Amino acid sequence: MDSLRLDFALPLRSFRLELALEVGRETVALVGPSGAGKTTVLRAIAGLARPERGLVRCGGETWFDSAAQVDLRPEQRSVGFVFQDYALFPHLTVRENVRFGGDGEGLLDRLGIAHLAGVKPAQLSAGERQRVALARALARDPSVLLLDEPLSALDAHTRASVRAELHGLLHDLGLPALLVTHDYADAAALADRVGVLVDGQLVQVDRPEQLIAEPASPFVADFTGVNLLVGTAKPRVDGLTEVELADGTRLLSTDRADGKVGAVVYPWEIALSREPPGDSALNHLQAAIASLVPVGNRVRVSLGGVTAEVTAASADRLGLRVGDTTVATFKATGTRLVPLG
């Protein structure tokens, strides 16, 4: 069985990272706030950080076992590591980068970077660098793929297309893959299962939609507390994408997509008002308020299947009460599309 099994503890500055997880031939995303220890998990698997105790096994091989005093060096572990910002060797060409770890000639074609083979990383776009980093990591024919924030260096425009590419590649590879991201939308789009890591503890591991539907803790709800509106996407000639929801509501998004999608909107990107906005570029939903939940100095307002988060002051100013009909508005740029199915 080609699976990756982790069960280790590693003290960090302000908390202990403790984690037990098994990754089969699937993609698991670790999400959580920055500083939660996500990157350290990847580094411990690769042998770049040393757990205090526990074990890391991959397939039939033991990479780390504190009880048996096994600790393979990084170069002895069959990992493909895609670093945040990609860590391409600036003094080597694309081909030399990819071939650093093994014969990656076929990967240049497969990832569509063969025409860049003689170019140095400085001349590449962020999207191209990401593909070079993937090709380089895969050239070693690794047993496990580790990806640290693989999309964070990309601008919003390239991000959606690269995300779709990466999703296809991870599916085709059929390798155990562990990816780290602070963006729940990326995790939901790329991973079969998502683990929420908070202060070094794995709070919940579940399928992305399950995590939203049944959060195990208030924190998970807060973190994954994104709005996921299922609908059908259709590209428009003006470059925007129109999403028709089940109830006939139409939303606009700047992400490109076609077919069944989840429209992801963060609660803090939704504004509330009494009257529909005059600006037609804004998405809006009109519904009665189902609940009002104060969270610190903010209020989470549920209406018509979405949750908005507004400051307590603006909730007071609007005089919001349960049952009031209110308009929720959000921008097309704040409406992210995640392919579903």
Partner 1 sequence: MRRQAFATALVAATALALAFLALPIAAVFLRVSPGHLFAQLGNPVATDALLVSLKTSAIAHVLVLVLGTPTAYLLATNRFPGRSLVLALIELPLVLPPAVAGIALLAAFGRFGLLGGTLHALGVGIPFTQAAVILAVAFVEAPFYIGGGIAAFEAVDRNLLDAARTLGAGPARVFARVAVPLALGGLAAGSALALARGLGEFGATIIFAGSLQGVTQTLPLAIYAQLDADFDTALAIGALFVLIGATVLVALKVVPRWTRSASISLSRSVPSASS
Residues that bind partner 1 in the complex, under the rule CB under 8 A = 43, 46-48, 73-75, 77, 79-81, 83-91, 100-102, 115, 120-128, 136-137, 139-140, 153, 155, 158, 161
Nearer to partner 1, 119 or 282 (CB): 119
Nearer to partner 1, 145 or 270 (CB): 145
Is-contact 120 93, C-beta < 8 A?
A: yes
Report which residue type is found at 338: V
State in angstroms the smallest separation of the CB of 182 from partner 1.
17
State in angstroms the smallest separation of the CB of 142 from partner 1.
9
Nearer to partner 1, 203 or 257 (CB): 257
State in angstroms the smallest separation of the CB of 104 from partner 1.
10
Nearer to partner 1, 117 or 287 (CB): 117
Helix (H, G, I), strand (E, B) or coil at 51: coil
State in angstroms the smallest separation of the CB of 112 from partner 1.
9
256 burial level (CB within 10 Å; 0-12, 13-18, 19+): middle
Please state the φ and ψ torsions of residue 279, each to the nearest 5 degrees.
-75, 115
CA 109 to the chain's CA centroid? 26
State in angstroms the smallest separation of the CB of 158 from partner 1.
6
> End-to-end alpha-carbon separation of the chain, Å?
27
Rounded-to-integer distance, Cα 307 and Cα 328, Å = 9
Nearer to partner 1, 53 or 91 (CB): 91
Is-contact 16 10, C-beta < 8 A?
A: yes
Helix (H, G, I), strand (E, B) or coil at 254: coil
State in angstroms the smallest separation of the CB of 87 from partner 1.
4
Nearer to partner 1, 21 or 144 (CB): 144
Is-contact 285 304, C-beta < 8 A?
A: yes
